[in-house]
Structure 1
Amino acid sequence: MAGAMHLNAVVGFSGCVENGLVLHPDGKTLIYPLGSTVVLRNVNDKGTQDFLQGHTDKVSCLAISRSGRYLASGQQTYMGFKADVIIWDLEKHTLLHRMSLHKVKVQALDFSHDEKYLASLGGQDDNSLVLWDVETGEAVCGSPTANNFTFAVKFFNNSSNKLATGGNYNLNVWEYDLQQNKLRPHDVQLGSLQRCFHTIAVDENDHFMYCGTSTGDLLQINLDRKLLRNTGPAKGCLPQGITATCLAPSGDLVVGAGDGSLVIMKRDQDGDDARFLKKLPVITSIRLTGGITTVTVDERSMGPNKFSMLVGTRNCDIYRVTYDSQAKKLSEELIQTAHAQPIRSLAFPFQYSAVFATSSFGEIRIWHLDTCRELLRIAVPNLDCNCVAFMQDGKSIISGWSDGKIRAFGPQSGKLLYTIHDAHHRAVTAIASTADSSRIISGGEEGMVRVWRITKQSQSMIASMKEHKAAVNSIKLKESSNEECVSASSDGSCIIWDLATFHRRSSLFANTIFKSVAYHPDESQLVTAGTDRKITYWDAFDGQAIRILEGSDTEQLDCLAIDPDGEAIVSGSSDKLVKLWAYDAGHCYETGVAHSGHVTNVAVTDDRAKVVSTGSEGAIMIWSYHRPTPAGDLSAR
């Protein structure tokens, strides 16, 4: 039976999860979702991480109790399936309760102030409000929320039997009747106003709540009368709607918007005369990159005139924003970045393990492995970077793009060194360089394999080989010489090319779409993976299949890599699993569970210490690498 791979660190943040960035009351631990994993990270040290793993699909919402003892997380799943709510004990980092009542998705969660109850809100296919007993994990009671979709739920700050919900054209205050064991809703009177509510914040005295809408106005609601009291800011100030709201220690309102605006607004105090109310005014604002989904106040950062907030955006960036109430000024600092789109490619420099490159839509990023810090970002807007590699001399990063061009960049400056226009008729899908860095081999979506001579002055095509009938998905070179490479294609063939004559040496055929191919370090064998869910060993000389392993029980294999010693194979598949296989024994001895999308790339570092995997959810997972033990004896490790 396979053991579990140890997850060392992750690079990523699910920025699209509303209110998905949580700061522990101790002010030291930042909590956020990444796919199906919940990450606990030291605020000041990105390398200090812990992980809560128990969900089977993407985490869709988070909530933390007032004392910080409990964390609740909800997930999404597939149509017809139940979506779990999990309560975690943060002191022990253990799973306390797993609760299943909602269908397809858990939309929002919130703890009561005394940590007695947890309220959960179902998604669009469920649309029910459920009250849970935190101590036992049992459902106390539940109720349908409204005929339309409901987005947000919030407990009052001083009462455990009162809470509010808001959604599309519905805003309700609920009271839990303990004797009748029922949740009783009361509509908030808005007059002729019709709004879609996405966020709710309740003041410290439970006198007012502030509800952010998709039209960009914030509504102040009198909770005693359940009546609209005031609105703001001015019309057109936040055109893409309010997506996050919280109350600042200074007594002001913090509002995040879909256009990246972070706004500080002055709120009405209890003693203000309603006859002389003006719209809630904006004190100051700042624009961040990407729509804001979460704002959380760091209460430990409070000073006489300052406090800071942690802000998460849809671009999967985390900012620390400081507000100086005396100067009425906001200043931002970017503290964490991540890919917001599926990661297409992963590459390490030749015989170097400290840094690696990833590519995604519109960008290439260089990362430091040990600190998980982004070192460089190369942006080419509105194009997909399908493949990236380092030239073996380390002087450039080469990449293939969806516009059919090959672009080379400086590895330290990110400066564009050269562009090969019309490198392929369609997208460039695979790329590699020879050991002397004098040539580039590229594969295209149209099936061509082309060889390019690279000099300081020019880049010229010296061969174009057209035998594949579908996209080339992977190209690997024989490291001992510059005279052979292999290309894997969606047409069910892998072709071994002679780079001296530019003709085919031999071919491999199977009833599959080949996704990845790799040479064994001794170069006597090739290993392939594809949609037939099999890992196949081939003789590199005559192209005959030697051995076939069942790589996955249910889904296609998307990528593979062989460790530098040739002792293990790493595979990634659409079943979200990373697997380590003993090369000679042919058995899976470790399995990694953390991704919530299909695994797009895997690699073993040259120092054989880590395995790096990337996923379609934009996550980068860094695992410990253990060499296979003799005869697969896991207990010997």
Structure 2
Amino acid sequence: MEHLELNAVIGFAGTIVDGIILLPDNRSMVFALGSTIIKRDIVDPKNQQFLQGHSDRVTCMALSPSGKYLASGQVTHLGFQADVIVWDMESLEIVHRLRLHKVRVEALAFSCNSKWLATVGGEDDNSLVVWNLETGKAVCGSPAANHPCRTVKFAKHDEFLLITAGEGNLRVWDFDLANRKIRPTDCNLGKLQRSVNYIYVDDHDEYMYAGTTTGDVLKVNLRTKLFKHVGPKSRLSQGASCINMTPDGDLLVGSGDGTIATLDAETLKLKQTTTIDGGAITCIAPHVSKQLFFVATSLCSTFVVKYEGLQAELRSTCHSSKIHDVVYPFGYSELFATCSHQDIRVWNARTCAELLRIQIPNLECNCVCFARDGKAILSGWSDGKIRAFGPQSGKLLFVINDAHVGGVTAIACANDPQRIVSGGFDGSVRVWRITAESRVMIGSMKEHKATVNCIKVRGNDLEFVSASSDGSCIIWDMRRFVRNNSLFASTFFKAVLYHPDESQLLTTGTDRKITNWDAYDGSAIRIVDGSTSAEFFVSGGGDKILKLWHYDEGQCQAVGIGHSGAITRVAVSPDQRNLVSVGDEGAILIWNIPPRFSSS
């Protein structure tokens, strides 16, 4: 089976602690997105390489001090073992696949000489294991603590000293290689009770700094295991989520509300703060220039921050939650639009840069389409309104209030720029006339008994078809606003489209079948889009695999593996050179269509 070539990825997993790693070459960074790990050029975001080997979402990553190895852990299904993969950063090949932890790998750390790898399992496992990187075998292991453990770190200069921390526990471990044992010592914090999010060890292995859920930082002597100091007095809101050190020797602390603070390393007194918009700070990665550092947030934004004055500049952003729809403008392959929770974004298909972001707080955008003439972006929202925006300015052009009860779930533009068709959560289908002065409903049809998931308009504007979760597809007359025909199946219809010659309909749904309503049915899942030549169509769904099918033969010709969540929508570029797929995990993946399809 041929594999589709992954051209570019938009997005990254912002919830991973230390999820952005700057490589020693000073030109590249590594981050995860779903089950894929991406090595990207810092200056040219289009220059990307993909490390694919995980079967599910990546949860943690660590780079060896030598820069030779990268380790990544994942989550898997309950009752199964989660993989830790060790990658060679020169060849980008898998060196070892380590399998002991159940369900989830919570944290990873390399020893100072890159000989050992420590891994901690999630709540269902909660064990600490030390691995030999030369052999790929486990050396020893132990339960990490009585309560869940969140993080692990090796000392900077001692390969046999490591620290774990989590809910109500902070432990220093001695790694006895001769006897293949690890022996813990609990740190003495006196009367303090804290749950630790993050550990940072200073450059001399003298002290460690523990960021807590309470919003303060604990300073603990690494040799005596005795608590020395806590600060700052004015605690950081929503916890101290990550810690690093400035070139001047001060502590850099990120918090759950987006605050970045510098603390005096000796007294832990607050020096200066800045707040960035984008969720909790999950990563602080110093640049080799010692003038700036990279910051990642839980809402999947990255910033470049200067040490002087903590001046932050937004570098990249992407969707942080499920993407509901993706669409190209008619006949134009240079850009596409996506919609998700609270926003619509327009992307440059060549450079992967975000061109426009339209935000409506606390609402879900369920569907989006470009007007045929390209003068508006039409969208359906969870509050039941249809909103139109300018494609360049993002300015609100008009709103249709109360278009559907329970939310607008499908929208389509006719060739006539004055007509749009919408479907709702309540099963109703409505046709609207749009003029400069007014927005008038000219037809309302209510035969579906469940959510309308997809609408497609015929090229001559005489008919359109709607697909619903009630197991029916209805072909409507666009002049008389009555049903012309209906199709029924034991499925929740998720998508429908016309064959380019409009003699056939292609439908798909939850029964894992793609059905050509003339004479064809196949076996794929959930969502489809077709090429203008009708040589092929593409599908994706709950199995996270993108599949390219030959239209006449009905056989799968190529697959694309990269998503770690269900694929929610796919689109074929008008020039038939690229596919864009979007998923539950917030990823936008751009694929190259094989030449034998794109040239046909």
> What TM-score bracket applies, with the shorter chain setting the length?
over 0.9
Counterpart code for 2:492: I
Q: Which blocks of at least 5 consecutive residues in structure 2 are unaligned?
A: none
Residue-by-residue CA offset, 1:81-122 (whole Å, 9 max, x unaligned): 100000000000101100100001000001001000000011
Out of 503-512 and 456-465, give the one that drifted further.
Answer: 503-512
Counterpart code for 1:238: L
1:282 Cα deviation after fit:
1.6
SS at match of 1:344: strand
Out of 436-445 and 243-252, give the one that drifted further.
Answer: 243-252
SS at match of 1:336: strand
SS at match of 2:47: strand
Q: 1:548 aligns with which of 497, 517, 521?
A: 521
- Provide the rounded CA distance (Å) in 2 between the counterparts of 1:222 and 1:394: 63
Corresponding residue for 1:517? 496
1:247 Cα deviation after fit:
1.8
Identical pairs, percent: 51
Question: After the TM superposition, which parts of structure 1 deviate over 3 Å for at least 4 consecutive aligned residues?
Answer: 627-630
Counterpart code for 1:285: T
SS at match of 1:153: strand
Say whether the 8 Å CA contact 2:535–2:597 is kept in structure 1: no
1:252 Cα deviation after fit:
1.2
Matches within 5 A, 1:245-394: 245-268=243-266, 279-289=267-277, 290-298=279-287, 300-302=288-290, 307-324=291-308, 329-394=309-374
In the alignment, does 2:585 pair up with 1:585?
Answer: no
1:629 Cα deviation after fit:
6.6
1:8 Cα deviation after fit:
0.7
- Provide the rounded CA distance (Å) in 1 between the counterparts of 2:347 and 2:134: 42
Q: 1:485 to 1:627 in 2, by over 3 A?
A: farther
Matches within 5 A, 1:58-77: 58-77=57-76
- Provide the rounded CA distance (Å) in 2 between the counterparts of 1:415 and 1:85: 47
SS at match of 2:374: coil
Corresponding residue for 1:423? 403
Corresponding residue for 2:480? 501
SS at match of 2:215: coil
Out of 501-510 and 614-623, give the one that drifted further.
Answer: 501-510
- Provide the rounded CA distance (Å) in 2 between the counterparts of 1:372 and 1:127: 39
Counterpart code for 2:542: S
Residue-by-residue CA offset, 1:114-138 (whole Å, 9 max, x unaligned): 0000000111110000001111111
1:239 Cα deviation after fit:
2.2
1:628 Cα deviation after fit:
5.1
Residue-by-residue CA offset, 1:522-579 (whole Å, 9 max, x unaligned): 111110110010010013xxxxxx111111xxxxx22100012111111011000100
SS at match of 1:10: strand
SS at match of 1:301: coil
1:245 Cα deviation after fit:
0.8
Counterpart code for 1:614: V
Corresponding residue for 1:275? none
- Provide the rounded CA distance (Å) in 1 between the counterparts of 2:77 and 2:283: 25
Matches within 5 A, 1:180-199: 180-199=179-198
Residue-by-residue CA offset, 1:233-291 (whole Å, 9 max, x unaligned): 113x31210011112222111111000001111112xxxxxxxxxx4112211101211
- Provide the rounded CA distance (Å) in 1 between the counterparts of 2:472 and 2:503: 19
Counterpart code for 2:27: K
Residue-by-residue CA offset, 1:299-352 (whole Å, 9 max, x unaligned): x212xxxx211111011001111112xxxx111111110101100111111110
Matches within 5 A, 1:616-635: 616-626=584-594
Corresponding residue for 1:271? none
SS at match of 2:522: strand
In the alignment, does 2:139 pair up with 1:140?
Answer: yes
Q: 1:530 aligns with which of 496, 501, 509?
A: 509
Q: 1:629 to 1:234 in 2, by over 3 A?
A: closer
In the alignment, does 2:462 pair up with 1:490?
Answer: no
- Provide the rounded CA distance (Å) in 1 between the counterparts of 2:61 and 2:166: 18
- Provide the rounded CA distance (Å) in 2 between the counterparts of 1:88 and 1:514: 42
Say whether the 8 Å CA contact 1:104–1:126 is kept in structure 2: yes
Corresponding residue for 2:11? 12
Counterpart code for 2:231: G
SS at match of 2:415: coil
Counterpart code for 2:436: K
1:618 Cα deviation after fit:
0.2
- Provide the rounded CA distance (Å) in 2 between the counterparts of 1:81 and 1:246: 34
Say whether the 8 Å CA contact 1:568–1:628 is kept in structure 2: no
- Provide the rounded CA distance (Å) in 2 between the counterparts of 1:373 and 1:358: 13
1:505 Cα deviation after fit:
1.2
Residue-by-residue CA offset, 1:158-196 (whole Å, 9 max, x unaligned): 011101011111101001112211000011110011100
SS at match of 1:550: coil
Say whether the 8 Å CA contact 1:397–1:410 is kept in structure 2: yes
In the alignment, does 2:538 pair up with 1:570?
Answer: yes
Counterpart code for 1:213: T
Counterpart code for 2:169: N
Say whether the 8 Å CA contact 1:567–1:628 is kept in structure 2: no
In the alignment, does 2:441 pair up with 1:471?
Answer: no
Corresponding residue for 1:56? 55
Corresponding residue for 2:30? 31
- Provide the rounded CA distance (Å) in 1 between the counterparts of 2:579 and 2:44: 22
SS at match of 2:311: strand
Corresponding residue for 2:393? 413
- Provide the rounded CA distance (Å) in 2 between the counterparts of 1:436 and 1:135: 66
- Provide the rounded CA distance (Å) in 2 between the counterparts of 1:490 and 1:317: 35
- Provide the rounded CA distance (Å) in 2 between the counterparts of 1:475 and 1:301: 53
Corresponding residue for 2:114? 115
Residue-by-residue CA offset, 1:354-395 (whole Å, 9 max, x unaligned): 111100011101111111111111001111100000000111
Counterpart code for 1:282: L
Q: 1:285 to 1:116 in 2, by over 3 A?
A: same
Corresponding residue for 1:611? 579
Counterpart code for 1:111: F
Counterpart code for 2:174: E
SS at match of 2:517: strand
Say whether the 8 Å CA contact 2:246–2:307 is kept in structure 1: no
SS at match of 1:47: coil
Corresponding residue for 2:104? 105
1:25 Cα deviation after fit:
1.8
Say whether the 8 Å CA contact 1:567–1:627 is kept in structure 2: no
SS at match of 1:46: coil
- Provide the rounded CA distance (Å) in 2 between the counterparts of 1:485 and 1:605: 22
1:421 Cα deviation after fit:
0.5
Say whether the 8 Å CA contact 1:341–1:360 is kept in structure 2: yes
